[in-house]
A and B are shown apart, each in its own frame.
Chain A
Amino acid sequence: MSRYRIPGKGRVDHSAPVSFTFDGKTYGGLRGDTVASALLAHGVHLMGRSFKYHRPRGAVTAGSEEPNALIGTSRGAGQFEPNTRATVQELRAGLVTESQNKWPNLSFDVGAVNDRAYMLFSAGFYYKTFMWPKSFWDKVYEPVIRGAAGLGKSPTEPDPDRYASRYLHTDVLIVGAGPAGIAAALAAAQSGADVTLVDENPEMGGSLLSDPAVQIDGKPAWDWVDAQLARLRAAGVRLMTRTTAIGYYHQNMVGLCQRLTDHLDNPPKGAPRERMWRVRAGQVVLAQGALEKPLVFDGNDRPGVMLAGAAQTYLHKYGVKVGDNPAIVTSHDSAWYAAFDLADNGARVAAIIDTRDVVRPDLLDGARKRGIEALTSHTVTTTRGRLRVKSVRVAPVRGTHVGTGRSIPCDCLLMSGGWTPSLHLFSHTKGSLAWDTTSQTFLPDRKTEECEIAGAGRGLWGYESVLADGAAAGLRALQGLGRAGHDASFTVANDRPGTGVSHTELPTDGNAGKARAFIDFQNDVTAKDIRLAVREGMRSIEHVKRYTTNGMATDQGKMSNINGLMIAADALGKAPPQVGLTTFRPPYTPTSFGAFCGYLRGDTFQLTRKTPIDPWAEANGAVFEPVAQWRRAWYFPKPGEDMHAAVLRECKATRASLGIFDASTLGKIEVAGPDAVEFMNRMYTNPWTKLQPGRCRYGLLLGEDGFIRDDGVIGRLSSDLFHVTTTTGGAARVLTMMEDYLQTEWPELDVWLTSTTEQWATVALNGPNALKMLKPLVEGVDWEDFPHMSCAECTVAGLPARLFRLSFTGEIGFEVNVPARHGLTLWTALMEAGKPYDICPYGTETMHVLRAEKGYIIVGQDTDGTVTPADAGLEWAIGKAKKDFVGKRSLSRPDIVAKGRKQLVGLLTEDGSLLQEGAQIVLDPNQPKPMKMVGHVTSSYQSTMGHPIAMAVIEGGFDKMGETVFVPMPDGVRKARITSTVFYDPSNERLKA
């Protein structure tokens, strides 16, 4: 039995021992323990070292706001997590934990030398110390600071755990299942509303679990909680434990992080570790309660000094006495009850020190009855003890005069500076806060979302008022949904009402300049740091925060913000609301990256689209490249071939005989209706009226600005039906743009657009033998009337098809479209039929080379959104006689018709070397830097002609034909000659069968 565990007490399972290790030592705990409660049961308070001064620290809370007791936890390879709060991590069999920020060990730490030198490490230390000399910053200061920065070890291995996601729509979401939350849920669950109640703890009940003597409606608190949870369950309320509301976003969207397996000895296979819920709630009730404030005095961070409420929780929930001989220092009534409960469970309470002059008589009576010394109008000036508090020095206060102190021995010191309503989520909504002078705290004021705030979260105290408030909030939420419900009231016996006062630093008779009175435990910020910041000119609380780092640790100042504000306000001589509060931001508590990623990792990291022919490419050794969301076969290397060799072989085979290419990713849009031709005339630069059914045309699409947006070959299948193709990446964009014009500009047109990209699998055949090979497979085409740029509906290899005769290679070419389910069948049939012609499958790289040899542009590669048809040499594609088309007006803008625009030209290097795509071009390589850049290389390939080719945009390029330009590259300046973009078969002889 652990020394400080009270047999049979608490909500832990005394019949279920669980062992774990902490810093290599094995400890026994109980099922239901946290790491902190189990260590405290063994009398272990020292759980970590602070960040800056490496001061020994123990758990100061019993919840998720814990700043000190941060540990590393591990389950196995890749499952190490730093900075886990020991007060939250539940025990599981075999749990391995370790303390942080210590070397060589927790009780003897070399880094604690910082603590001795604390006078050096004042607020703004970094700003002041590392200013000079400037040259030291990169080489000395930053590496040193970075080396010392960060708390805990970052995991280095990939996380093998899974993380899940879920959306939830619910009528009422209640955050916090303490008395207010439960009462709100009971009220909201009345008339069949869908209600969700979440709590970050393993068990619901909130503060009632730490106050078992309270009786509600005649039932002891715990029985009442059990009964109400059963009622809620029966009413269909969704109850979610270990679920933290991490953020409150627009339109009642609340993010929840649910921890599923961290508490399990052996998680089931395939179980996610955490699940992120994105909840859209009709109404939200925030019943998050309040967080206890520490008091600020010298030595308030010593292990053994903790919040009184935390001690009460350890006692009642875990059956753990945090000490045999506690002293209590408080400015709030609540700590008196903690003292009474500890005394009633066998602790010898050394004294209750209350800063107030007047304390409720019943509390004084309670102390007297238990033989506890009660010291009102007293302060605590310091504590003693190296790794654990041994004594506390107390002194009477009269007005501002601190009298002679004395030392009281104790083995723990329980403090309470009052309670701060937990308004983090409310603040995420940009709801405003109002300073309440009576309770000396901020309370929720103007709301921006459909939410209610209930209970201690809006400053109420005492169970009867909190329960009534919760019920009222639940009812208001219900009414907000347009539903009706009844009022509820609760009678509470043994209630524990309370009030308190708020302090800055406690008055002291010691040297205030040397006091180590901590506000932010995790970032080691003291009261004098705040005062120093104000003295050094910080006026805004935001500046004080950044200068001192107060509230910037992983606990986001849950315990420190209000104390920091009170002291800053005091130093500035202003009221706290005039100084203001820093902004709370999500997440409420540290949240794993895994929970945010959810399913979006590994194979499902991002959607990858594959064509129907992709399996063939994969089986035949294709190397793939991503194009928009698609993966496309890039090239098909044979054994021993590198990319260059494979691409050259594919190019030559296609030019020599026959190549086959999967073009299924091309965007396809069916433009249908009586006004189809009118629509096409308005959208594309080209004239369409005279295009006969059964013929195709290259179409050029501009934006309103006159710049090229997309292109593609378009077939007219009948008078009112066009088969439009777009670039692979442009498919969705083009359809959206067209639909936008149709709906907003030309709703009168009888024409409709349907995406058919995925309806069709498309196979391109190119090469001098393409026609010969294809002919026998086709039925329904009149070959006498099927020249280059024709299209027909027919069958190919017995499959229903749309056949296009066109070329993106300069060779005789076809594109065969068949319904997608037949794509692979078609491909296989063509491969078989192409054998006599040594048919060669090729990928996107070969497609790029072959089109570049012909000077065919790729929108998005040779154009960049600033290229007009004239710039690209495509003026021939403009229907000059057309009254209008999208972008027409812009083509006559002065800057568009001006001389010296960048124009698309060909480039051939003098030394036959390959240029880099993206390389800049200059006219004089000897000019001083920065040089005048006149353009850049857009495409560059090894070609089938024995020398590399390139395309480039160059200012006034069309007038510079034959001239020499220079391309500075990493390994030297290249000389290149400006040429036409058509490198291969300029007279198009090869297209004619």
Chain B
Amino acid sequence: MTNQKHQFDASPVLVEDMAPVLRLSLRVKPAHRASLGQALGLDLPTRVGARVAAGGTEALCLGPDEWLITAPEGTDLTTPARAVYADAPHSLVDISDREVTLRLSGPSVLDLLAACCPRDVAAIPVGSAARTVFDSATVVLWRDGPTDFRMDIWRSFAPHVRALLAQVQEEFVAGL
């Protein structure tokens, strides 16, 4: 009688902790976007939500003058950025420990996110990302595949988000 677009299999969704990465918040005025990009070895995207990656470094545009940069731990991006500071003033702040990252994947991941995220998560294109909320926590949601997401959560908000995710996962197990 009911035919919701739910696919229930043995593990409809996986929630995993991800290893820490280097995470930097870059703020720079549009005029100096290009030189910062050059220094970091990336063409910083200008559309909010767009991502680019080069080498191990990835940049996500979060606002007209705001980018989130990730790279493997130990990567030194501060020195090359500092080299252009005089001509391209900016702020590059280490926020590696501010957030923790969960990987959410599996066929029911869109339903999992839709439990507490008012945004149209299905409409986030694969390969882009969005800053949004999950219940009352601000999160950055990276869509790496059709059913593959990363969620950056401010550290102290993570237990609440995890507790909610666990409740929703139990719904999937119950099949309702």
A674 & B118 in contact (Cβ 8 Å cutoff): no
List chain A residues, Cβ under 8 A from B168. Answer: 164, 599
* A271-B171, A609-B157 known; A166 vs B91 contact (CB < 8 Å): no
Q: Are B97 and A819 in contact (CB under 8 A)?
A: yes
Asked, given contacts A280-B120, A758-B155, whether A236 binds B5 with beta carbons under 8 Å apart, the answer is yes
**A168 nearest CB neighbor, chain B only:** B114
User: Is B111 located at the chain interface by the 8 A CB criterion?
Assistant: yes
Which of A427-435, A749-757, A805-813, A936-944 lies at the interface with chain B? Answer: A749-757
0/1 string, B160-176, CB within 8 A of A gives 1: 10011001101101111
> Of the candidates B27, B99, B117, B164, which one forms a contact with A758 in the assembled complex, judged by CB atoms under 8 Å apart?
B99
Q: Collect the chain A residues with CB atoms within 8 Å of residue B94's CB.
A: 759
| Stretch in contact with the other chain, from A181-189, A479-487, A600-608 | A600-608
Given contacts A166-B115, A240-B2, A750-B29, A673 and B171 within 8 Å (CB-CB): no
Say yes or no: is A886 at the interface (Cβ < 8 Å to chain B). Answer: no
CB distance from A279 to the nearest CB of B (A): 11
- Which residue in A167, A238, A241, A272 is a CB contact (below 8 Å) of B171? A272
Nearest A-chain residue to B159, judged by Cβ: A610
Q: Which of A278, A608, A750, A755 contacts B118 (CB 8 A)?
A: A278
Q: Are A756 and B160 in contact (CB under 8 A)?
A: no
B-side interface residues, number (CB < 8 Å): 51
Q: Which of A829-845 contact B (CB under 8 A)?
A: none
A795 within 8 A of B: no
* Chain B residues within 8 Å of A168, by CB: 114
Q: Is the CB of B159 within 8 A of A758?
A: no
> What is the distance, in angstroms, from B137's C-beta to the closest C-beta of chain A?
6
Neighbour of B115 across the interface among A165, A242, A673, CB < 8 A:
A165
Does B1 sit at the interface, judged by CB under 8 A? Answer: yes
Select which of A169, A267, A600, A752 is within 8 A of B90 by beta carbon: A752
Chain B nearest Cβ from A625, distance in angstroms = 16
Q: Mark B23-57, 1 if CB is under 8 A from A, else 0.
A: 00101110000000000000000000000000000
Q: Is B80 an interface residue, CB under 8 A from the partner?
A: no
Q: How far is the CB of B70 from chain A (nearest CB, A)?
A: 15
Enumerate chain A residues within 8 angstroms of B20, measured Cβ to Cβ. Answer: 821
* A934 interface hit (Cβ, 8 Å): no
Q: Mark B4-20, 1 if CB is under 8 A from A, else 0.
A: 11000000000000001
Q: Is the CB of A752 within 8 A of B91?
A: yes
Interface flag for A539 (CB, 8 Å): no
Q: How many angstroms from the CA of A611 to the CA of B155 in the assembled complex?
A: 8
Identify the closest chain B residue to A676 (Cβ): B91
Count, A-B residue pairs, CB within 8 A: 134
- Closest-by-CB residue of A relative to B86 is A674
CA distance A610 to B100 in the complex (A): 14
Q: Give the residue of A165, A268, A672 whose beta carbon is less than 8 angstroms from that of B91.
A: A672
Q: Is B75 an interface residue (CB 8 A)?
A: no
A760 and B97 alpha carbons, distance in the complex (Å): 7
Q: Smallest Cβ distance from A226 to chain B, in angstroms?
A: 11
Chain A residues with CB under 8 Å of B93's CB are 670, 672, 754, 756, 759
Report the Cα distance A759→B100, complex, angstroms: 10
The answer to whether B156 and A630 have CB atoms under 8 Å apart is: yes
B2 with A167: CB separation less than 8 A: no
Q: Are A610 and B3 in contact (CB under 8 A)?
A: no
Nearest-CB residue, chain B, relative to A203: B1
- A241 to B4 alpha-carbon distance, docked (Å): 10
Q: Which residues does chain A contribute within 8 Å of B173, judged by CB atoms?
A: 270
CB of B155 within 8 A of CB of A604, answer no
**In whole angstroms, how far apart are the Cα atoms of A758 and B25 in the complex?**
14
Are A673 and B156 within 8 A (Cβ)? no
Report B147 CB to chain A, min CB distance, Å: 17
Report the separation of the CA atoms of residues A260 and B116 in the bound assembly, to the nearest whole angstrom. 19
Total interface residues on A, using CB and 8 Å? Answer: 56
Q: Which of A242, A670, A674 has the most CB of B within 10 A?
A: A670
The answer to whether the Cβ of A269 comes within 8 Å of any Cβ in the partner chain is: yes
A418 within 8 A of B: no
Interface residues of B in 87-121 (CB under 8 A from A): 89-99, 111, 114-120
Indicate whether A607 sits within 8 Å of B137 (C-beta atoms), given known contacts A280-B120, A673-B89, A752-B27.
yes
Residue of A nearest to B136 (CB): A607
- Report if A758-B97 is in contact (Cβ < 8 Å); known contacts: A241-B1, A270-B173, A821-B20: yes
Question: Contact check: which of B27, B90, B114, B156 meets A167 at CB < 8 Å?
Answer: B114
- Chain B: CB-nearest residue to A743: B65
**What chain A residues lie within 8 Å of B155 (beta carbons)?**
612, 758, 820
Which residue of B98, B119, B137, B175 contacts A820 across the interface (Cβ within 8 Å)? B98
A758 and B154 contact, CB distance less than 8 A: yes
Chain A residues closer than 8 Å to B1, beta-carbon distance: 202-204, 239, 241
Contacts of A609 in B (CB 8 A): 156-157
A821's nearest neighbour on chain B, judged by CB, is B97
Q: Which residues of B contact A600 (CB under 8 A)?
A: 135
Question: A440 within 8 Å of B by Cβ?
Answer: no
From A204, A269, A271, A754, contact of B25 by CB (8 A): A754
B122 within 8 A of A: yes
Are A759 and B116 in touch, CB under 8 angstroms?
no
CB atoms of B156 and A754 under 8 A apart: no
Query: With an 8 A cutoff between CB atoms, is A233 at the interface?
Result: yes
Identity of the chain A residue whose Cβ is nearest the Cβ of B93 in the assembled complex:
A754
Residues on the B chain within 8 Å of A280, using CB: 120
In A602-644, the 8 Å CB interface with B consists of 603-604, 606-612, 630
Partner of B163, one of A604, A674, A758: A604
Specify which of A203, A240, A280, A754 lies most central, judged by the most chain B CB atoms within 10 Å of its CB. A754
Q: Is A162 an interface residue (CB 8 A)?
A: yes
The answer to whether B175 touches A599 (Cβ under 8 A) is: no
Q: Does A964 contact B (CB under 8 A)?
A: no
Contacts of A239 in B (CB 8 A): 1-4
Closest to A611 in B: B156
Whether the pair A233, B3 counts as a contact (CB closer than 8 A) is yes
Bound CA–CA A204/B111 (angstroms)? 24
Task: Provide the residues of chain B in CB contact with A672, threshold 8 Å.
Answer: 27, 91-93
Q: In whole angstroms, how far apart are the Cα atoms of A755 and B5 in the complex?
A: 39
| A228 contacts the other chain (CB 8 A) | no
Please give, as numbers and ranges, the residues of chain A lying within 8 Å of B118 by CB-CB distance. Answer: 167, 278
Q: Select from chain A the residue with minimum beta-carbon distance to B113.
A: A167
Report A627 CB to chain B, min CB distance, Å: 12
- Chain A, 227-278, CB within 8 A of any chain B CB: 233, 236, 238-242, 260-261, 267-272, 278
Q: What are the residues of chain A within 8 A of B175 when measuring CB–CB? A: 268, 271
How many Å from the CB of A201 to the closest CB on chain B? Answer: 10
Complex Cα–Cα for A202 and B1 (A): 8
The answer, among B65, B98, B119, for a CB contact under 8 Å with A756, is: B98
CB-CB under 8 A from A240, the residues of chain B are 2, 4
Give Cα A606 to B159, complex, Å: 12
A270 in contact with B137 (CB, 8 Å): no
B97 in contact with A820 (CB, 8 Å): yes
B11–chain A nearest beta-carbon distance, Å: 15
The interface residues of chain B lying within 8 Å CB-to-CB of A241 are: 1-2
Q: Are B135 and A607 in contact (CB under 8 A)?
A: yes
**Segment 261-319 of A: residues with Cβ below 8 Å from B:** 261, 267-272, 278, 280
Complex contact B3–A238 (CB within 8 A): yes
Whole-angstrom distance between the Cβ of A176 and the nearest chain B Cβ: 16
For B5, the chain A residues whose CB sits under 8 A away are 236, 238
Residue interface mask B137-158, A partner, CB < 8 A = 1: 1000000000000000011110
| Bound Cα distance from A670 to B26, whole angstroms | 12
Contacts of A674 in B (CB 8 A): 89
CB of A877, distance to nearest CB on chain B (Å): 26
- Please list the 3 inter-chain residue pairs (A to B) with the smallest Cβ-Cβ separation, ordered nearest first: A752-B27, A752-B91, A609-B156
A-B contact pairs, 8 of them (CB 8 A): A165-B115, A238-B3, A272-B171, A599-B167, A604-B135, A604-B167, A758-B99, A759-B95
Q: Which residues of B contact A (CB under 8 A)?
A: 1-5, 20, 25, 27-29, 65, 89-99, 111, 114-120, 122-123, 135-137, 154-157, 159-160, 163-164, 167-168, 170-171, 173-176
Q: Contacts A609-B157, A754-B93, A820-B155 given; 8 further ones with Cβ under 8 A? A: A168-B114, A169-B120, A267-B174, A268-B176, A607-B160, A672-B91, A673-B91, A821-B20
